Structure 1
Amino acid sequence: MSDVYLKIPAIAVSQPIGDFFLCSIPAEVLLKVAYSIPARMTRDKGMFSGILFNQRAKSKARLKQIGEYIDENNSSFPNTIILSANYLEDGSYVEDESLRWHAIKENNGFFILEIPTVERLASIIDGQHRLDGFKYISKPERLKMGIPCAVFINLPRDYQARIFAIININQKRVDKSLAYQLFGYDLNESNTDKWPPDMLGVYLARILEGKKESPFEGHIRLALLEEDDDLEVNDGRKMRLEGGAIWEVSVACIVEGVTRLISAKPSADRSALASGQINYRSELGMDTSPLRELYLGGKDKTLVELITDYFVVVDELLWNGQRERSFITRTVGVLALFDVLHDALIAGKISIENMPNGARDLFQNAQGINFADDFFHASGAGRVRIRNVLKKLVGLSSKPDSIVDDAVSRLVAARNDGE
């Protein structure tokens, strides 16, 4: 990435909830790249019906007090501001690779956190008042003050709410029901008919991770260090494939893949449900996503079964025997496999009535391909290359592409020579 707004040294921290980065970011930068929207409940027929936004309402008097403190000679903020990068203010995931925050591992074991743009792509999970206090200072030089930050990369919205609730639930100033239902992501909500696509995606990710017959069992973590194509972290915790390869993907990866199968415009669906414009997902209407009808009909169990059946075949024909550095079992590979499922359903190459056999027929010619090949090691392009190679192999690609065609010919020849 040639034109990066800011590069910051960072330390990786691994905890049970997942991996994040500790770093120091100047206050003036945080004010540009981070956002926080006050949380508030909406009343519907006398009942608290939902959450519109994500944090406590800001008190101007309180912020002025913080600003006065910042101006003091010995002011200090040793506690971290907690951020989640790569989500827009409307809750949608940042699709553009060139805009997303990345953590790049250095040779010394530390990391460089890259912030490519001044766009507001980091949600403040906790610490909004400290940061907003800088808007009320009288000493402009205080904007240069470094602020300790804990940065999660690609942390789904419901987990942002959970972290906020854990931090604040015992503070009297925070309404407990508000903390539990932040962002509208209360997975204990019994009325699943009100779940937007990405909320259902989080739920399905949890099911896939814990389901005994699921190929994702034990392979999904909340947040990962190795979200970037070029980043490898071997810490001994990852599950091994039968062939010896270790792998994990993030919840965000699964949520993105699932959501695309059930919604062409997930942010619009979420907004419609959150605003009260409609009451149930069944009222959203059809779009071009291949499994939309199942989502609208509340067929969540069927969705889990279809995705499980598809990836059981993927595990058997593609994942099994892959090398440790294979890209097919990393974030880019799993997302590419979701892309192929999406396109194959639309093209009629596989059907929901016979997913296992359809997927097995689909991937016969892709079996034995080495997805650890350097062709897939292209920062920011790995997912596209894996997807295009797979589509060429399974007969889904109609557009001529000499680069992909040459790569497929070489990969197939190498596979055949090794047989």
Structure 2
Amino acid sequence: MTADLPIDPDKISFDFPCIRARQPIGDIFVGAIPHKRLKSITYFDVRRVLRDERDFERYLGIQRPLDDKRVAKLTNYVNYKDASFPTSIILALTEGYVSFDEATNRMTVSNFRPGEAAPSINLGQIARVLDGQHRIEGLQGFTGGADDFDLSVTIFVGADIADQAQIFATVNLEQTKVNKSLVYDLYDLAHSRSPQKTCHNIAVALDGDSRSPLHKRIKRLGIATDGRVFEPITQATFVESLISYISEDPRSDRDKLLRGVKLSEISGDELYKRPLRNLFLRQQDIEIASIVNNFFLAVRQKWPVAWDERGKGAVLNRTNGFRALMRFFRWAYLHVAEPGDVASQQRFYERVFSAIRLADADFTTENFAPGTSGEARLYRVLRGEEQL
């Protein structure tokens, strides 16, 4: 990660070949830049969370931490005779320091704005890397000439932070290049509502609430959180388990909301398939979080030992148990409430969990094997469709 750099003492400017492409998000530019030139204008951010005294979170970056082993492998690779990086580095360039000449198909990057007599930025902070940081770092060890290794680049000029996050999320979720937990975490940067953002926010809220059974149990960004020793559920697991109760097609919903399309509430059988849908459409995310939290409070009340068990072979509080519980959630919720009602912990416990004939000691891998088969069996047992 690059800290704020001092403004350059001298004016610097260079240009490179480029073409414009028009896409729904806006114009993008595709060009080729010598690797040393590219290195001189780029920086990387690392997605990280800072908490202030009110436990709010703020955004500092969207790139993955550098993987030193991967960089070392690329450093060796770039010096092979047949080395090639055929795919584009994706950049977001700061508006005002970039110009494009349509007649010559060349883009110019400068550390000063038009009309300025002196630089107003450090050249190294003009381009944020949205994808490709490892390739750029790997070329640090390239032993050829400065102009012997060009990189193709895809450039977004003046994209705001939410657009940058969405570009990164689209590239990496669709191509499965990074863990999904990080990708879902990026949705909190979006300006508009979406099923993904709502589920992300609920994961953050329950993970951060000391009264919640899921307090400090959700692994954010797909990597272990400093200072925690027990994070059995990934953010991606949480989001993907909850989102089906809110949306049949989350990507389509997000796109419609971005376009300002009002989504219609549902009823009948459709509402019983997605009982939290109308709460989402009414922007009642707090109520959704309360229902989910009360459900897990009842789980913990019924099986307090199994819920806190951290030893090998435990099932209830791990991925398999969580997924089975979230499959069971729809049946349990509709058994105690009408869609949209906030069911209390007491109602969940008294009308659902108190009758289930499972003891704390039953939640083992011997009874519920790792993988989808064990998850499915636990769901059937919770429903009373199968006995141990």
Q: TM-score, normalised by structure 1?
A: 0.47
Secondary structure at the aligned position of 1:378 is classed as coil
Unaligned runs of 5+ residues in structure 1 are: 1-37, 41-51, 71-75, 85-122, 128-138, 146-167, 226-232, 240-245, 398-404, 410-419
Letter in 2 for 1:238: R
Match of 1:357 among 346, 349, 359: 346
Partner of residue 388, structure 1 = 377
Secondary structure at the aligned position of 1:310 is classed as helix
Q: Indicate conservation of the 8 Å contact 1:197/1:259, yes or no.
A: yes
Q: Indicate conservation of the 8 Å contact 1:336/1:387, yes or no.
A: yes
Greater relative contact order (Cα < 8 A, sep 6+): 1
Partner of residue 59, structure 1 = 29
What displacement does 1:208 show? 0.9
Change over 3 Å in CA distance of 1:81–1:366 after alignment to 2: farther
Partner of residue 305, structure 1 = 290
Partner of residue 345, structure 1 = 333
Partner of residue 142, structure 1 = 83
Could you give the per-residue CA deviations for residues 249-285 of structure 1, whole angstroms, max 9, x where no partner exists? 2221221122122112222212222344x1x45x465
Could you give the per-residue CA deviations for residues 297-344 of structure 1, whole angstroms, max 9, x where no partner exists? 221121111111111111222344535231222223212211110233
Q: 1 CA distance for matches of 2:190 and 2:83?
A: 44
Partner of residue 268, structure 1 = 252
Q: Indicate conservation of the 8 Å contact 1:328/1:371, yes or no.
A: yes
Q: 1 CA distance for matches of 2:233 and 2:159?
A: 31
Letter in 1 for 2:291: L
Q: 1 CA distance for matches of 2:256 and 2:321?
A: 32
Partner of residue 171, structure 1 = 126
Change over 3 Å in CA distance of 1:126–1:237 after alignment to 2: closer
Match of 2:206 among 205, 208, 213: 208
**Which is higher, the Rg of structure 1 or of structure 2?**
2
Match of 1:183 among 144, 166, 191: 166
Change over 3 Å in CA distance of 1:304–1:144 after alignment to 2: closer
Partner of residue 238, structure 1 = 228
Q: Indicate conservation of the 8 Å contact 1:366/1:390, yes or no.
A: no
Secondary structure at the aligned position of 1:366 is classed as coil
Q: 2 CA distance for matches of 1:333 and 1:180?
A: 34
Match of 1:290 among 271, 275, 280: 275
Q: 1 CA distance for matches of 2:326 and 2:124?
A: 37
Unaligned runs of 5+ residues in structure 2 are: 1-20, 48-61, 67-79, 87-122, 129-155, 168-185
Structure 1 residue 322 corresponds to structure 2 residue 287? no
Q: Indicate conservation of the 8 Å contact 1:261/1:291, yes or no.
A: yes
Q: Indicate conservation of the 8 Å contact 2:28/2:157, yes or no.
A: no
Letter in 1 for 2:348: A
Letter in 1 for 2:199: G
Q: 2 CA distance for matches of 1:222 and 1:212?
A: 16
Change over 3 Å in CA distance of 1:248–1:321 after alignment to 2: closer
Partner of residue 242, structure 2 = 258
Structure 1 segments of 4+ aligned residues over 4 angstroms from their partners: 79-82, 123-127, 172-177
Q: 1 CA distance for matches of 2:203 and 2:212?
A: 11
Secondary structure at the aligned position of 1:59 is classed as strand
Change over 3 Å in CA distance of 1:332–1:392 after alignment to 2: closer
What displacement does 1:175 show? 5.6
What displacement does 1:124 show? 9.4
Q: 2 CA distance for matches of 1:359 and 1:197?
A: 25
Partner of residue 324, structure 2 = 336
Secondary structure at the aligned position of 1:273 is classed as helix
What is the CA RMSD across the aligned residues, in angstroms?
Answer: 4.8
Q: TM-score, normalised by structure 2?
A: 0.50
Change over 3 Å in CA distance of 1:375–1:176 after alignment to 2: farther
Aligned residues: 249
Change over 3 Å in CA distance of 1:58–1:238 after alignment to 2: same
